Each structure stands twice: as structure tokens, then as C-alpha cells.
Structure 1
Amino acid sequence: MRLLFLTAAVVFVLDQITKVIVVHVLNLRSVGEIDVLPPFLNLRMAWNRGVNFGLLSNDADLMRWVLIAVALAISAWVLWWMNRDRPGRWSFLSAGLLVGGAIGNVVDRLLYGAVADFLNMSCCGIENPYAFNVADIAIFAGALGLVLFSGRGKTP
């Protein structure tokens, strides 16, 4: 479990530091966009009030609290699952990625009322209209890792 908590802490801190730099230091919330390595990597400010790709993103304050509760419930369930099953180190690492990213986005919803997304990547003539953040990358990688590694070594 130590690996899980360490990974979650590193992801959380990295996510929050990048958001402070982008939102406050670079003032992306006012500037709107900064081309870093166009068209491959750009900073584009997007306030996500919903889940992935803005789904369920109505402006009701209730949805904000529902999404906070869901993220905390999923994080608690993953912690309980990892403690109960004691899977391998890759599962603990994956769970830490997921939990750290989820908590990072919860903090955004508490501080800003929405998740601060700012990374935008496009390639090969296809313009990606969506933005994401470090927490989103960690959540995706963590969920994928749990799918790939959590059942290893168990017999039916």
C-alpha cells in the first residue's frame, strides 16, 4: 500500500503544481491559449464542469458536488479493493495513479468549481478540440493498469 500512497501523492502534487503554473503564473485563464510546439502541444484553457470531454457539464452546482462525491467514492473503493486483495506492485502503482489523479480533480472542483484542463495535442492535420491535464493522464493510465494487472497471478 505504501507504493499506492506514494504514487498518489506524487501525481497529486505534480498535477496541482502544473495547474498553479498554468492558471496563475502563466495566467492562461486570461490569455486563453499559448502555443508551445504547434500543432503538437498547445496550452488551451478549458474549465471542465463535467466528466471526460465535458459530458454531464451543465452549470448546476449540484453536478459539481455529485462529481466530487463520485470521485471520492471511487477512490475509497479502489483503496479498499487494493487493501483487501493485496495485488502485485503494478496494481498498486496503477491504483495510485488513479487515486492521485481523482483527488487532484476533486481539489479543482473545490477551488475553482470546475476542473482546470489545459493540455491540447493535435497531429497530422487533425485538430483536437479537447484539453486535459496531468490528473486526467494519471486516471486513464491508472484505470488501464488496473484492467491489465489486477487479475494477474490469481487462480479461479
Structure 2
Amino acid sequence: MSEQPETSTSPAEGAPTPARRPRAALLLGLAAGVLALDLGTKLLVVATLSDREPLRLLGGALYLTEARNTGAAFSFAEGATAVFTLIALTVVVVIVRTARKLFSTGWAVALGLVLGGALGNLVDRVFRDPGFLRGGVVDFISLFDPYGEVWPIFNVADSAIVCGGVLGALLAFRGIEFDGSRASDRTQD
């Protein structure tokens, strides 16, 4: 027996339309996947690249090297690790609270990427040396130079945060709301 999708009737059109479903499971599942991939790659890097020369790949376009970042993106404000930890905690709480009202698949993907990335870097800040809430984030991907001279060294979490942020900006630019509606639809009502 196959399941039929839930439908509701649109009062304006009288035709059945697919019922909206919350996208919290998608958001949380994607965040868990990003977190697992980030933690797994960091464990692998620490186990294999510590105290070793950078690994050159793709003819020097990509290097794998271990670096610790106690600041924000691009090693900005390295003395403010505790502040970035609190910001990451706030981002996590806001996204998890927003998940209940989320019906847009695009926003679920964007926020899932940001949540997974924020959690990945947060785990480092909480549990890695030099200590609680001051830990150095493990970065290991370097483009065109083994020591981050061309582009700052980053990790899977950083990539997820950037991709989620770009997707979120595109969705906002297009006027797509968390509930899946468009901002222009609300102004016409």
C-alpha cells in the first residue's frame, strides 16, 4: 500500500495542494552530517598530519596541513576565542528554535549547513587546547600555498558555514521566507 501525500485545499483556487511539512528533520539531519564529517576529518588530520610537512595535492592547488585557529575566520581577533564561542552558542540556539517554524527546503539546507559548521567549530573551541572555551579550531585545507599565504587555511565546518550563508543570502534576496512563502506574496494580501 503506497502512501498518498497529504493535501489541503487552497481556498482561492479550490484545488488540492500538497500540505506543507516542517523541514526541521532535514535541517537537523544535514547539521548532524556536517558535524560528523567535520569531526571525522579533524580527527584524521590530527592523527596523520600533526608535526608533518603539508601534503601537496592537485599540483599544488590544494594542500592538507594542520593549523590551529583561536580567532574567527581568517584568524581575525585571535584573543577573543571566548567571545566567538558565545556567538556560536547563540547561533546554535537561534537556529534550533527557528527549526520548528521552518517549512522552506532551501532555508532548511542553508541553516543546516550553518548549524553543522557552527557546532563543528564549537566542539573544537570547547574541548581542544589551550582549554575550555579557548580551544584552537583545527584547520587543514589550504589553497595554492601550504601555509595559507594565498587564502586562509580552513576546514569542513568553515566551508559549510560559508555555503549556508551564501544560500541564505540568495534566499533572502529572492524574498523566500522561512515558511516557504515569498515576501512579495505577503505584500499583495
Q: Is the TM value for this pair above 0.5?
A: yes
| Match of residue 76, structure 1, among 62, 85, 93 | 93
Q: Which one-letter code corresponds to 1:65 in the other structure? A: A
SS, match of residue 60 in structure 2: coil
Paired residues of 2:72 and 2:81 also in contact (CA < 8 A): no
- Could you state the TM-score of these two structures normalised by the residue count of structure 2? 0.71
What stretches of structure 2 of length at least 5 have no aligned partner? 1-23, 129-134
Give aligned-pair identity as a percent: 32
SS, match of residue 4 in structure 1: helix
- Determine whether 1:149 maps to 2:132: no
Q: Report the counterpart of residue 21 of structure 1 in structure 2.
A: 44
Instruction: For 1:1-156, list aligned pairs within 5 A.
Output: 1-24=24-47, 26=48, 28-58=49-79, 63-84=80-101, 86-112=102-128, 113-122=135-144, 128-150=150-172, 151-152=175-176, 153-154=181-182, 155-156=186-187
Q: What does the per-residue CA deviation read over 1:77-121, in whole Å, with 9 as the maximum and x for residues that have no partner?
A: 12323433x241011011000000000000011222111000011
Paired residues of 2:31 and 2:115 also in contact (CA < 8 A): yes
What stretches of structure 1 of length at least 5 have no aligned partner? none
SS, match of residue 47 in structure 1: strand
Q: Which has the higher contact order (CA 8 A, sep 6+)?
A: 1
- Could you state the TM-score of these two structures normalised by the residue count of structure 1? 0.85
Q: What does the per-residue CA deviation read over 1:18-74, in whole Å, with 9 as the maximum and x for residues that have no partner?
A: 0011111x1x2211411122311101222111111011112xxxx322211110101
SS, match of residue 94 in structure 1: helix
- Distance (Å, rounded) in 2 between the aligned partners of 1:64 and 1:51: 8
Which structure features the higher share of helix residues?
1
Runs of 4 or more above 3 Å deviation: none
Paired residues of 1:32 and 1:45 also in contact (CA < 8 A): no
Larger radius of gyration: 2
SS, match of residue 21 in structure 1: helix
Q: Which one-letter code corresponds to 1:68 in the other structure? A: T
